[in-house]
Amino acid sequence: MTDKLSRRGFLGAASGITAGAMLVPGISRGIGAPAVHVRQSSKNIAVASGNGLRAVTKAGELLAQGVDTLDAAIEGVKIQELDPNDMSVGYGGRPNEHGVVQLDASCMHGPTRRAGAVGALEGIKTPSVVAKYVLLYTNHIMLVGEGAKKFALSYGFKEEDLMTERSRESWLRWRANRGPDDDWIDVERDEPMVPRPTGTINCNVVNANGDISSVTTTSGLAWKIPGRVGDSPIIGAGQYTDNDVGAAGSTGRGESNIMVCGAFLTVESMRRGHTPTDAAIETLRRVVTASEPRLLDERGRPRFGLSFYAVSKAGEFGAATFYPSRYAAFDGEEASRPDTAYLYERDS
């Protein structure tokens, strides 16, 4: 299920917008955003969340072979989506409170300035690919729920049970232990449990030609209310790409990211000249300012986690979180897990 982006003349749209509309590389077109000149990357770069080391490695390998940036990013995150041992995305993801796995994903292709997304998708292991099909074959940007599943099935995707024994056991233990005053009998826990596990993978890439794409995919907040959709499928929140500037994406508390349109805000900061790391830090500061008091501790620090990852057209990359962490990056030669920038030290 990996149709190339050349289908239906897709890449043709990227290479020649209209007759007489030639673009100067690195110069923003039209009046929709401030003009900015950005030097072009000379390397193939991929940056992702901390769980994306395999993703950036795969994306880097594909970029070196000349594969389109969006295909490279999606093939990278598919590794996590198809991994039954990863309980945060795709197959084996943690379900909602009714025991149903609902997946979200979105993607953007810089050269053609197009986007696709799916929300609350059930029964399909690779929502990132379905999001790409929305981008490729429809005049829409987002499909959700039953409509998204029917769309995927119409293109030959196979409906499957996304729960693994591990994810089902995790849900059953949560259900049994969720409250001291409920009618369920507590059961022993064989692994550390936190109240609301979260997990997502974001991947942003730029190739040596300066073309950029991004993708974010998730199973969302564990035990969520059925139908809940976080930031991952929201264009401008879970991820955003501007082929003249760069791309950014996020993992963590989606509701807080949606409130500031975090991925878009990070790219706009890069447009104004910030490095990817500094842009991500500025977005986190905005999140803190926009947060309700109940979400902050007595010192005004977030009680939740949120991270941003970004790459510029020039091939610069970086990431920032509230507290020290790591992310995944392919620097054109090898993959590694550098330290993120951060706003606060962890309590000792």
Active site residues: 200
Neighbours of 39 (CB within 10 A): 13
Q: Which amino acid is at 210?
A: G
Distance of CA 269 to the CA centre of its chain: 19
Q: What is the chain's Cα-based Rg? A: 20
CA atoms within 13 A on the CB side of 180: 0
40 close to 211: Cβ distance less than 8 angstroms = no
Strands (E), the chain: 45-48, 103-109, 114-121, 142-144, 200-206, 212-218, 239-242, 246-252, 306-312, 317-321, 328-330, 335-336, 341-342
Burial 179-217 (b: 16+ CB within 10 A, else e): eeeeeeeeeeeeeeeeeeebbbbbbbbbbbebbbbbbbb
Who contacts 11 (Cβ-Cβ below 8 Å, separation ≥6)? 5, 68, 111, 112
Give the integer Cα–Cα distance in Å for 201 and 261.
Answer: 18
DSSP 79: H
